[in-house]
Amino acid sequence: MAQEGTVNSGVALVVGVGAETGLGAALARRFAREGLRVTIAGRTPERLRVVAEQIAATGGAVAIKPADATREADVAALFEEADRDGDLKLVAYNVGNNFAASAQDTTPELFERLWRQNALGGFIVGREAARRFAERGQGTILFTGATASLRARPPFLAFAAAKAALRAVAQGLAREFGSKGVHVVHIVVDGVIAGEYAATNFAEYARSKGADGVLAVDDIADAFWAVHCQKRSAWTHEMDLRPFKEPF
């Protein structure tokens, strides 16, 4: 379902677009602002439509594609849609729900669900993107990581295992496809992202951080765009982002 928009210099695919205040939506808006035609994917068509309308209202070119990133058929259709829209240059994988549960309360079903959303989906999307970009000798794949990508703390054992696996996927793809011109980046978002998810799931904790203690989605999106623009003689594979006052 495409929207009319401006002439662009290529296509960006953002997988994992939900609430209009979320990071996926911010990435889509940022890439559209640079003149790319953006295909946005997520599991909730209504949310995709809201984000698409925002982008189209500012003159951006956008298409929506409901999809489940853990299903190969959905991902194949997603890339076919992006390929039809033009020259695919950039893919961002932003899927990955969190869930708080102690090890004692973590069921195998929960553990697998988080792994599928974060790691398996990231692998399927990353593999399809790398195949295409390697044939063309260029392209960027961006993975959204988290504090849990680097260390596991209760009550997020399952989430940390899934995010660590996604980090391994990013490393493996970078080492296999980097020399073929594919820039693979794993970005660790080390802190609370201001938006609907934090407001809904841990509002008091987010408020306790104060205005300067949370990450603004538009500022994160700027960082994603910056690494995409890097020259190949000095590529970043992994970077971390956090508020200036956040201890680490």
Using one digit for the tens of pLDDT, what is the confidence trace for 140-167? 999 999 999 999 999 999 999 999 999 9
pTM exceeding 0.75: yes
Separation between Cα atoms, residue 25 and residue 50, nearest integer Å: 10
Q: Which residue has the higher pLDDT, 161 or 195?
A: 161
**Could you state, in order of their start, the residue ranges of all structural domains in the chain?**
2-241
Instruction: Say what percent of the chain tops pLDDT 90.
Output: 81
**Nearest Cα residue to 111 out of 71, 159, 150:** 159
User: What's the chain's average pLDDT?
Assistant: 92
Residue 111's SS3 state is: helix
Cβ proximity of 87 and 139 under 8 Å: no
Task: Give the pLDDT band (50/70/90) at residue 44.
Answer: very high
Which one-letter DSSP state was computed for residue 186? E
pLDDT of residue 8: 44
Superfamily of domain 2-241: NAD(P)-binding Rossmann-like Domain (3.40.50.720)
Q: Which helix (H) or strand (E) holds 176?
A: helix 157-177
For residue 120, which phi and psi values (nearest 5 degrees)?
-65, -45
Q: pLDDT digits over 91-149, tens only?
A: 999 997 888 899 999 999 999 999 999 999 999 999 999 999 999 999 999 999 999 99
pLDDT of residue 6: 40
